[in-house]
Amino acid sequence: MTRTIRFILVAVVALLLPPGVGVAPGAESLNLFGWSEYIPQSVIDEFTEETDIEVNYEMYASNEEMLAKLFSGATKYDLIQPSEYVIEALVKEGKLEKLDKAQIPNLKNIAPEFRGLPHDPNLDYSVPYMSGTVGIVVNTDKVKEPVTGYRDVFQEKYKNRIVILDDPLEIVTWALHTEGLPPNAVTKENIEKVKPLIASWLPLVKVYDSDSPKTALLNGDVDLGIVWSGEAAILYNEDKKFTYTLPKEGAHRFIDNLAIPKGAPNKAGAHKFIDYVLRPEVSVKISKEFPYTNPNAEARKLLTPEERANPASYPPGDPKLDTFRDIGENAVLVDKVITDLKAQSGS
């Protein structure tokens, strides 16, 4: 009985614990809302050391999760990390603060190929953080023939040995590329056009995984797949037998960016953080933890030759790359089509 009472007391005390416990009163703080594991803790700690700004780092696993929590208004975030097509929508809806470039002198470090892109041509609202591509990984121990494009991947002989991202928009875009249609023309008519192609592809897939497709490849349960370049880079670092190729029909280049939501409480702190992250020595630290494509030209100069040679991080040649555009209502259609086709093809 006394134990029960003690339990109840603990519970009551816990409930009465003020929610903001742990934050030093009066300290300046920055509410950072980013992709899981995208900003190394060391980078954050060193920022705090230098500026005395306490960073509250909350994480999400998808753009939509971020949007859900952002617009609930529960916490006023100072920085978010949306992908390029979400930036476009956020700008359209007026949900981002215009950047004060005077506070971000290091902006000059961004490589030219990351400027002038459709989602934010003048980098008025966003700063590229990390970039990557979606391409083909092949376990060359198991697959000896060259695999250069989507059509090569989805062949009957690879049935049940393929892993692809569990991302309806990606899948539809690959089909658009393969049929020679513009990848961002995601309309009802085009979706209907590529539906049969996707329907022929899905029964060949063994695993759908957007979180950790490297697992199935490392396990040897699948021999090839279409995955994020970051995953491929990690695989390449683990074992050189995993090659990465950008599909010749065309590939998605995604860019994750730092942006400041409208009404952010600490805009100055946010600008400081952006400028800090753009320093070459800081940016290269991030690259070492996450082998994505670093849009910071100065930071790239600080990479080791081995890192620079990772084909997944820095694909050679002049590949055909496109960023995603905001597709509005068609997103609903995309989701439905893939759900339908998965259901038809599934076991």
Q: Could you say which residues in the range 91-110 bind another protein, by CB under 8 A?
A: 92-93, 95
Separate counts of helices (H) and strands (E) for the chain: 14, 10
Selected binder of another protein within 128, 135, 149, 230 (CB under 8 A):
230
Residue 212 makes contact with another protein by CB under 8 A: yes
Shortest spacing between CB 241 and another protein, in angstroms:
13
Contact indicator for 135, 315 with CB cutoff of 8 Å = yes
For residue 244, what are its two tokens?
A: 């990465």
Residue 211 binding another protein, by CB under 8 A: yes
- The reply on whether position 90 binds another protein by CB under 8 A is yes
Tell me how far, at minimum, the Cβ of 155 lies from another protein, in Å.
19
Q: Which is nearer to another protein, 124 or 238 (CB)?
A: 238
In 94-190, beta strands by DSSP E: 126-139, 162-164
Cβ proximity to another protein, 104 vs 129, nearer residue: 129
Cα 305 to Cα 311: distance, rounded to the nearest angstrom: 12
Question: Residue 81 and residue 210: Cα distance in Å, rounded?
Answer: 18
DSSP 268-285: HHHHHHHHHHTSHHHHHH
Query: Element (H or E) spanning 227, and its range?
Result: strand 224-228
Distance of CA 26 to the CA centre of its chain: 34
Candidate segments 117-125, 166-174, 293-301, 302-310, binder of another protein by CB under 8 A: 166-174
Q: Does 227 bind another protein (CB under 8 A)?
A: no
Stretch of 143-151, 247-255, 275-283, 335-343 lying at the interface with another protein (CB under 8 A)? 335-343
The contact pattern for another protein, residues 314-333, with x = CB under 8 A and - = no contact, is --------------xx-xx-
DSSP, residue by residue, 64-102: HHHHHHHHHTSS--SEE--BHHHHHHHHHTT-BPPP-GG
Contact 266, 30 (CB under 8 A): yes
- Which of 291, 147, 169 shows the shortest CA–CA distance to 223? 147
Task: Give the pair of three-digit tokens for residue 267.
Answer: 């805009």
Q: How far is the CB of 324 from another protein (least distance, A)?
A: 10
Q: Rounded to the nearest whole angstrom, what is the least distance from the CB of residue 9 to another protein in the complex? A: 9
Backbone angles phi, psi at 127, to 5 degrees: -125, 125
Q: What is the rounded distance in angstroms from the CA atom of residue 168 to the CA atom of residue 181?
A: 17
Which of 146, 196, 220, 265 is in the footprint of another protein by CB under 8 A?
220
From the list 110-118, 150-158, 219-227, 315-323, the region that binds another protein by CB under 8 A is 219-227
Indicate the residue among 155 and 339 with the shorter CB distance to another protein.
Answer: 339
Which residues 9-48 are close enough to bind another protein by CB under 8 A?
10-11, 14-15, 17-23, 31, 35-37, 41
Given candidates 79, 216, 224, 232, which one binds another protein under the rule CB under 8 A? 216
Nearer to another protein, 209 or 249 (CB): 209
Binders of another protein in range 64-83 (CB under 8 A): 64-65, 67-69, 71-75
Handedness of CA 272, 275, 278, 284 (dihedral sign): negative
Residues 237-296 that bind another protein (CB under 8 A): 238, 289-290
